[in-house]
Amino acid sequence: MFDFDPGDELSLLVETVRGFAAEALAPRLREHEAARDVSQAAREAARQIGLAGLELPEKRGGAGQGALARALVNEELAAADPGAALALDPLGPALYALAECGGDDALRELALPLLAQPGARAVLFCAGDAALRFGGERVSGRAPWVPADRADLVVVLDAAGACAIREGIALAPLRGAGLRAAGASELVLEGAPVAARWSDAAAAARALARARLYVAALLVGTLRNAAEFSRRYALERVAFGRPIAHHQALAFLIVDMHMAVDAARLLLHEAAWRADQGMPFEGEAAAAFADAVEASRLVGPAAVQILGGHGFMQDYPMEKSMREARALGLLCGGLDRARDDAASRLAGPVALSAGEHG
Amino acid sequence: MDFAIDAELRARLEEAREWGAREVRPAGLESDRMGKPLPPEHPYFARALAHGEGRTRWPGAGVAPRRPPQGAVVASLLIAEELAYWDRGICIANPGPGLPEGAVLAQGTDAQKERFLGPFLAPDKPRWACFAMTEPGAGSDAAAIRTTARKDGGHYVLDGAKCFIGNASRADWILVQAVVDGGKGRDAQRAFFVEHGTPGLGGWKIEKKMGLKAYESTSFTLERCRVPAENLLGGEARKSGAGFGTAMRTFNAGRPIIAANAVGIGRAALDEALAFARERDLLRDARVRDRLELSARKLRAARLLCLRAGWLADHARPNIVEASQCKAVAAQVAQEVTALGMEMLGAVGGRGDHLIEKLYRDAKAMDIVEGTGQIQRVIIARQLVNLPRDAGAA
């Protein structure tokens, strides 16, 4: 039966992560951005609350949580700093390609070693973002941008499956459009040996869907913060004798921003819930990602707009939200591919029948 | 969190779907073709009565009201969505105590429940009741109504004009919102039962509408219309001011229902558009796929917003923001989806005989009734940024 309450266990998790993010991430977001990494203290605090192993199975030392928990956690982290959220997660969305395509062996051999090295990062990229050439058991090619300055493991995901690369990885630092706290580099593979390769189209589709949920949650958090920060600002800033929030043009904009964030969040939660229930969720995840990206095109710039000239300056974090939301939407193959994937699910006999849930 | 629908509700939805396809859709199309509401004696209404429509929720005198089952509001929203999928106009045209029932249950005296809801316990024929708030000069701004009620001995004398009132000319009684004894503002408003045939109640004009032709939206006048003091909702002992509360409570409960209706209309348009695209092999076109994808996604989001508002109501938690959000979003989505459907039809849509064309006309009303999309934003802004009442339209 319908229940929008995350329940005690997940609520406690959200509280914990929110506290951590408010203390360790939000006050230092410019510092982390400039350093292109999170502080040692932040990394240690994140390790202590067990963020890295959130979705790993318990028998592998993880918390055994699912997509919904990840969605809630990522929203909280990104509400403080989406770049830091990526920097803090050694596996990031690469985990899904390993788990769905490679299974437990891949987790044991490729994922767990990263957790033992502080600061290690796995990088996922979706083929199509990069032109790769396979020759024998080696791969060459470039990805124009990955949000990382370090890559201990590269996982390439395409429609047919995934492959993992541990050696022969070169990163050339970039300024980056956003998410700089996680780093920003061009990824170059030149005859890099393929450590493992899996062919399973269904698993690859699930992995991509989970990665989209991961990024959609970061978007929802980023946008929530932008909508909230600009709302509070609009209540303090006075123009023409009243708080600017009381000019109806801005009041309605603020309302529309909050509605867009809420809608994107609900789509995300439903899709994540479906994933956790073992139901088909690939189309729903693609739609949730697409909606979050489209919401970002409203909310990101509107938050800057509400702050006016201050919004454009780096003394306030809204310019950062706008850039980072835009950058997040470029991950996982971007909006158009998500919309295509969501649309391809409409080819079935029934669209959106009221009884389809559960 | 849980997004599942249990087996019992799924069975109810299946039943609504079967009824909708067999009776509701054909009745709605017939009315649209005629360009006017089905007359009260149309056999559809007798069949609706036999099907179980048209009854009151009031359990009868001396019977303790059953506690609504868990999740009753969410369930009612999904049913409202499903029936609107088949024809939203017919949903409103259905017999029964309708919109004022909630107010009568919440505030009516025992005698009033017996007298006005009693006939709906086991109705001998299709019967209607209706609620009359809107006036030519007072739509979403319910505080601006000008119909007056003047105390005169054991009676009240009502004068004024109401408009766009659903099912009014066929209603056994109308719950009329009026300002009592020259008072001002919301606190002075009360609601009165005015029975059909009361002298002074007349001037019926069944409006011609762009869409939703299946139910009558009727204007009427009250001219020195005398009703006994017992017809004052809640009785004279209730302190004044309760009247406006009555109205706003009715509105509040209504918003998610309208949102659910809008989702149903949009879903119908999406299904038709998909069928059209498949028949003509249009799905290879990326622009066509984009429109369908956007429609499906926005409808899904609107439904979730709607169910969240209902879920909060089920748990007796405040839902002012959520109720207005789902109403604002769903109405807009329904318009967008039906408009995109028309675009997909191309010149076929211009013929005026395709279901999507009807849905395009029907959907517009969802952004107007129960508070326009703009009013919903004002309501939300009051909560989010304390928008003062003197700011703009507030």
Cβ–Cβ < 8 Å for A219, A328: yes
Which residues from chain B sit within 8 angstroms of residue A287, using beta carbons?
A: 293, 296-297, 300
With 0-12 / 13-18 / 19 or more C-beta atoms within 10 angstroms meaning exposed / middle / buried, residue A244 is buried
- The minimal CB distance from A358 to the residues B4, B17, B81 is found for B4
How many angstroms separate the CA atoms of B195 and B173, rounded?
4
Across the interface, do A263 and B293 touch by the CB < 8 Å criterion?
no
**Binning pLDDT at 50, 70 and 90, where does residue B250 land?**
very low
Cβ–Cβ < 8 Å for B394, B382: yes
Percent of chain B with pLDDT over 70: 95
How many angstroms separate the CA atoms of A304 and A311, rounded?
4
Instruction: Write phi, then psi, for B235 (nearest 5 degrees).
Output: 80, 165
What is the pTM assigned to this prediction? 0.93
Instruction: Report pLDDT for A90.
Output: 94
Residue bearing tokens 């770049």: A83
Instruction: Report pLDDT for A344.
Output: 87
Across the interface, do A270 and B304 touch by the CB < 8 Å criterion?
yes
Dihedral angle, C-alpha A126, A129, A134, A139, nearest 10 °: -80
**Binning pLDDT at 50, 70 and 90, where does residue A347 land?**
low
Across the interface, do B385 and A242 touch by the CB < 8 Å criterion?
no
DSSP states along A262-324: HHHHHHHHHHHHHHHTTS--HHHHHHHHHHHHHHHHHHHHHHHHHHTHHHHSTTSTHHHHHHH
> Percent helix, strand, coil in chain B (nearest 5)?
55, 15, 30
CA distance to partner chain B, nearest, from residue A339 (Å): 7
Instruction: Report pLDDT for A355.
Output: 41
Across the interface, do B13 and A264 touch by the CB < 8 Å criterion?
no
Q: Which residue has the higher pLDDT, A254 or B238?
A: A254
Q: Encode pLDDT of B352-365 as tens digits.
A: 999 999 999 999 99
- Does A264 contact B at CB distance below 8 Å? yes
Mean pLDDT of B49-65: 93
DSSP states along A114-141: HHTSTT--EEEEETTSSEEEEETTEEEE
Mean pLDDT of B342-357: 95
**Binning pLDDT at 50, 70 and 90, where does residue A128 land?**
low
ipTM summary value:
0.92
Instruction: Report pLDDT for A328.
Output: 97
Q: How far is residue B105 from each of residues B60, B234, B246, measured CA to CA in Å?
A: 11, 10, 11
